[in-house]
Amino acid sequence: MTVENPPEKLRVAIVDDEAPARTLAREYLAACGDVEVVAECTNGFEAVRAVEEVAPALLLLDVQMPGLSGFEVLELLGREVAVVFVTAYDEYALRAFEVHAVDYLLKPFPPERLEQALARARQRIGQPRDARLEKIAADARPPGAWLARVVAREGGRVHVIPTEALDVVEARDDYVCLRSEGREVLKQQTLTELAAQLDPARFVRVHRSFILNVGKIARIERYAKDSRLAVLKDGTKVPVSRAGYAALRPHLK
């Protein structure tokens, strides 16, 4: 006699800052078979920690949350977990699909709609990762707006760095190193990608491997015939290439 293994349960984490919304999601999920709620998170920081600790396969993710928006959570976690957005705002739908969210549920929604989303998620989870996911970060920015803060994570810990506090960004292989207030944080992203998201009035790519916050420059020193050094207010020295200096010059008074 053969015993069939029960189908593997879908591990879901609910992320919403409003308690009634979490209650509702839990109630709907309880009615769907083969689903296990492995975490309930009240904000994006908890969601990142939950993904690190209990590894859900799917996030039911609210968009408007304090501290870390749903899109920022997706930027940090999109490579590891499937995401279904749940929100009252329909204006984010297009963006949600651009960043490859599995589905987009509008509050209030009927249980059938959630079941549909779960079915899609199961399909998506079975498939190999989409290469385009690499582009998530670049798309996670609202159109026409420059980043106000950069988010990065180390394991379950999230760093939120307001762009005005950012000193310099350095490319390191597949990562960028964000330096701010004397600390360094690594983020998996290319320098070119990040450069495209930062306000060009405040951030200049001064070198193949460096983006500089213009407001943090104390002075520019000549270093060799065609290269210079930017000395920041905190004493950090950053190489400036010839092309970089040309780009930087209009910003210097």
Rounded to the nearest 10 degrees, how much is the dihedral formed by the CA atoms of 48, 82, 87, 141?
A: 70
Coil, strand or helix at 70: helix
Q: Least distance in Å: CB of 22 to another protein?
A: 8
Q: Which amino acid is at 25?
A: A
Least distance between another protein and beta carbon 51 (Å): 18
Give the residue among 47, 38, 89 at the shortest CA–CA distance from 66.
47
Q: Which of residues 154-213 bind another protein (CB under 8 A)?
A: 160, 162
229 binding another protein? (CB under 8 A): no
Rounded Cα gap, residues 152 and 138, in angstroms: 14
Q: Judge whether 68 and 161 are in contact, CB under 8 Å.
A: no
The contact pattern for another protein, residues 108-147, with x = CB under 8 A and - = no contact, is x---------------------------------------
Q: How far apart are CA 219 and CA 252, in angstroms?
A: 9
Read off the tokens for 148. Answer: 């106000």
Site residues (CB under 8 A) for another protein, limited to 15-74: 17-21, 23-24, 27, 43, 45, 64, 66-67, 69
Tell me which residue has tokens 């020295």.
237
Output the smallest distance, CB 186 to another protein, in A. 20
Cβ closer to another protein: 17 or 134? 17
The residues that touch another protein, with contacts defined as CB under 8 A, are 17-21, 23-24, 27, 43, 45, 64, 66-67, 69, 88-90, 106-108, 148-149, 160, 162
